[in-house]
Each structure stands twice: as C-alpha cells, then as structure tokens.
Structure 1
C-alpha cells in the first residue's frame, strides 16, 4: 500500500489523486498544477489553474465608486490613513466639492511622521522609511500573510523566488505563489506565469495565461497575444477573443470622473488645484 501511495499523482484538471499509470509519460513530467490525466486530456478538460482567476478580486475595486481600479498605478492613489487605494476620478470629484481630506475615511491628510508610522511596518522588503532592510523578516511576514490568503503576499513571494537576488532562487516556490495569486485574480501574477511559460517554450500555457490577463484589461498581455498570433503561435480567433475581453475590461474601469481626471493630467499632478 505504501508503494502505491508513493506513485500517486494529482491531476490538475479533475483534481483526483490517481495512480501514476493514469498519466502519459509527458504529463507525468509536468508539475501538478499543469498535469492532466489521460482521461482529462481525452475529454479536453481545462486545468483548474486556467478556470480560476478570470475575474479580478473585489479588493481591486475603488472603495468609493466600486469600479475596478485601473492597472495603471498612476491612475489611483494609496491613502495611508485608511490603507485604501482610491481612483483619481473619486479624488477629483471630492476636490471639486471642496474636500481636501481623504475621500474615503474623511481623515485629515496625515503629516509625514503620521504616514511613516502607518506604513513603515510594511517596508522590511525595501528597507524604506527608516527601516533597515530585512528580507528574511519580509519573507517571514509574506509567508504568514500568504497562509492567510493574502494575494499580494503570494505575488511578492513569487517575485522574490523568481529573481533570487535577496533569497535563494526557487522556481517551484515561485510557481506555487504566482499560481495562488493568479487564481485569486491577480493580473501581474498571471502575466508573470505567461512569461515564465513562454521562456520555457510552453507556448500554449503562455497563451492561456495571457489570454486571461488580457481579458482583465492588461495591455501588455494583449500585445503578447498579438505577437504570438503574428508569429503563428496563436490563432486569429485567439487574438480577437483577447481583444474583445480587453475592451470590455477597459469599459468596466471607465467613468466620466476618471476620464476627466485623465484629461486634466491628474495622474501626473495630483496636487493640482481644481
């Protein structure tokens, strides 16, 4: 019985634990998340990795207008008083009404020392805000947060283990954390999975990942799908589907207030008096 258990593998599509013989030689060599049993291959069943994460998390919505935040970080602002990311459209709308405080929690704009106290504990990874850089401590906190299901923690760990500059490079751990983040709707993690798969020559998996992130509004992913189409690695239908999804995502992130903020150059000069 022990020997049988030692050669059991989990299918990444049906998520069943199956005997080693249920997988082709090619599939047995793959990591669990992209491995499919012969039954699932024959039925064309999709990997769980590609089924989940097709919608962005509600945490990616502006807390005021409830619209998805733009993937361009210049089009929103982080508020240290309430730890919320607020879109420029809502900030502009508040300022037009004479509000200079936080448009979400209504707290006064904190001075530098107050802001420092609020956010410095998050900066071990970067060594910012007067903290000595301590990547070991950062990884410890990230791992703890990842265990609690914090998507950003999974993504940050994926980056650390991919680069291997401050920690020992570990591709298996990077994949595990990127996949966890991607299945929670993290666009950047999905993009990075596509990049890794593409560089490894797994073009079909790269395309699947980039198709998902393009449909979440990522212009870089859309460009990647287009390039794959131009190089014969994707079909015209693939690119058309990615483009339609991208356009729909952009429409969901749009509003008159956001358009006005962009037209006024609000992203470049958020202190501009309205």
Structure 2
C-alpha cells in the first residue's frame, strides 16, 4: 500500500515536471490591446519583437483594436486641476507654483487673486510661507506619514541638492521608485527622463519606456510627448502620430507643432492635423481665466 502511494506521488510529480517544461517551451506574451496572456504563436514575428505595451495579437490586429496605451491617459486627471479654481493647471511650469506646506500646486491666477485680497500666506491652506529649514521638516513629516507626493518631492530635493541636502541621485531614485509604486505620475516621468538621458544613471531605454508609458496612461502630457518623439526616432510613425495627437489635444504646443510638421512631410493627413489643432485650442481655452491672464501679464512685465 505504501509503495503504491509513493508510485502515485512520483507519477504526479513527473506529470507536474512535464507540464512545467511544456509551459517553458510555450512562452506566454501579453497583448497590449486585449491584455490577454497568450502563447507566443498568437503573435506575428514583427509583433513578437515589440514591447508588451505596443504588441498586439493577430486577433486584435485583424479587428483593428487600439492599444491600451492609446486608450488611457487621453484626458488629464482631477489631480491636475488647481485646488482653488478647479481649472486644469497650465502645462507651463512657470504659470503655477508648488506649495510645500500642503503639497498642492496652485495656478498663478489664484495666487495673484489672493494677494489682491491681502493674503500673503499660502492661497490654499493659509499657512505661513516657511523658510528653508521649516520646509524640509514639513516634507519629512509628510513622508513619514506616507504621503506619495511628499515622497516624490523629497526625491527632487535629493536629486538637485536643495534645502541643505547633499545631491544624492541614488537616494532620489529610491524615493522616485517608491512614489511611482504609489501612483505618482511625476515620479514615473522623472524616472523615465533619467533612464532615457542616461547622464547620471546607466541609460536603459526599456526602463525609460516603461516609466514614460505608466505616466502617459495616467495623463502625464510631457511623458506622452516623449513617447511620441522616441517612437518617431525608431521609425514607428503611426504610433508616434497617435501619441502626438493625444498630447496636442491635452494642450501641448510642441506636440501640435510636431503633428503639423508630420502633415507637411506627408506622414499625417489633413484630418489628423485638424483634430490635433481643434483639441489643442479647446484645451487652451479650458486652462484660461481672467486671473491667469492677469498673472501672465504681470510676469511678462517684470
């Protein structure tokens, strides 16, 4: 009886090993459109060589299904709105300011409106403007509480060596990766740029694409633009154009100009450029307000 049990166990173990070897032989890949895990044979030779995010199975190719990368991040999230006026924040970093006291980004229009009302403190949380030592303490306190944005922000301070911190790229990357895992799209974008440029870390385009794609699918406009540029350089003009049109419709001027250039070069049609231009104009309109126009005029007159 004992011998028969052992034989049965050996038999099952052998079957398990056979199944494992078969699974290793029949490599599984993920389709970037239907997000199914499929055998390698479900993809053409050309598709097998592509990254997961832009790879499509034969069924999706025949159906003309869009990539997941192209269906997500087509609109900006509520996190990109000014917390005071609730309008989408301008893409120009000079037209808003990050407030360390509350970890909020406030548009210049609301800052100017607050000053006109006699408020010199933070226009959102009303906290007094902290000095350099107080700011670092504030950030560390919020990091200790697990605030994802504060974790990313502390990473930038280590990367640039600000607020009395010694420049430490390794520590900055650790913080960026932690914040990225918690869903901070700016952290993904910063990591993408680091691995893309390869100036202070080893250049790694696989990691750069992965972080750019994660940021773009969360609505990060610059990440979307960078993806379009990289795909264009790689000769993937169709995918590059899709990225640029999406970014242009989110208000990115550089992407609109790129679509125009592709149209002039015969790489895009008139409808593509018209769609990008119309979307860009709507996005700019959504980001405009009298207060922001006044703030911009004041900045230009300084």
Q: TM-score range by the shorter chain?
A: over 0.9
Partner of 1:49: 69
Instruction: Give the aligned partner of residue 223 of structure 2.
Output: 189
- Answer yes or no: is the 8 Å Cα contact 1:76–1:267 preserved in 2: no
1:28 aligns with 2:48: yes
Aligned pairs (5 A) from 1:84-123? 84-118=104-138, 121-122=154-155, 123=157
Q: How far off its partner does 1:185 sit?
A: 0.3
The verdict on how the C-alpha distance between 1:267 and 1:187 changes in structure 2, with shifts beyond 3 A counting, is farther
Matched-pair contact (CA < 8 Å) for 2:176–2:188:
yes
| Match of residue 256 from structure 1 | 290
- Counterpart in 2 of 1:147? 181
Aligned match of 1:78: 98
Report which of the two has the higher share of helix: 2
2:280 to 228, 237, 246: 246
CA contact (8 A) 1:88 1:266 kept: no
Gapped runs of 5+ residues in structure 2? 1-18, 141-153
Provide, for residues 194-232 of structure 1, a one-character-per-residue CA deviation record: whole Å limited to 9, x for no partner: 111111111111111111110000000000000000001
CA drift of 1:128 comes to: 2.2
| 1:159 corresponds to 2:196 | no
TM-score by length of 2: 0.85
CA contact (8 A) 2:133 2:163 kept: no
Query: Distance in 2 between the 1:84 and 1:59 partners?
Result: 9
Indicate yes or no: 2:240 matched with 1:206. yes
Distance 1:116 1:20 in 2: 51
RMSD of aligned C-alpha atoms? 1.6
Q: Which of 24, 31, 35 pairs up with 1:15?
A: 35
Equivalent residue, structure 2, for 1:272: none
- 250-259 or 61-70, larger mean C-alpha shift: 250-259
**Is the Cα–Cα contact under 8 Å of residues 132 and 163 in structure 2 kept in the other structure?**
no
1:4: how far off? Answer: 3.7
TM-score norm. by structure 1 comes to: 0.93
Return the alpha-carbon distance in structure 2 between the equivalents of residues 27 and 60 of structure 1.
Answer: 35
Report the count of equivalent residues.
268
| Larger displacement relative to structure 2 (62-71 or 18-27) | 18-27
Contact kept? 1:74, 1:267, Cα under 8 Å: no
CA contact (8 A) 2:84 2:110 kept: yes
Task: Give 5+ residue unaligned stretches, structure 1.
Answer: 270-274
Secondary structure of the structure 2 residue equivalent to 1:85: strand
1:70-116, Cα deviation, whole Å (9 max, x unpaired): 00111112222222111111111111111111110111222343234
Preserved CA contact (<8 Å) 2:195 2:202: yes
Judging changes above 3 Å, is the alpha-carbon distance between structure 1 residues 128 and 112 closer, same or farther for their aligned structure 2 residues? closer
Higher relative contact order (CA 8 A, sep 6+): 1
Quick one: which of 198, 222, 242 aligns to 2:256?
A: 222
CA contact (8 A) 2:31 2:56 kept: yes
Given that 1:79 and 1:102 are in contact with CA atoms closer than 8 Å, whether structure 2 keeps it comes out as yes
- The CA deviation at 1:252 is 0.7
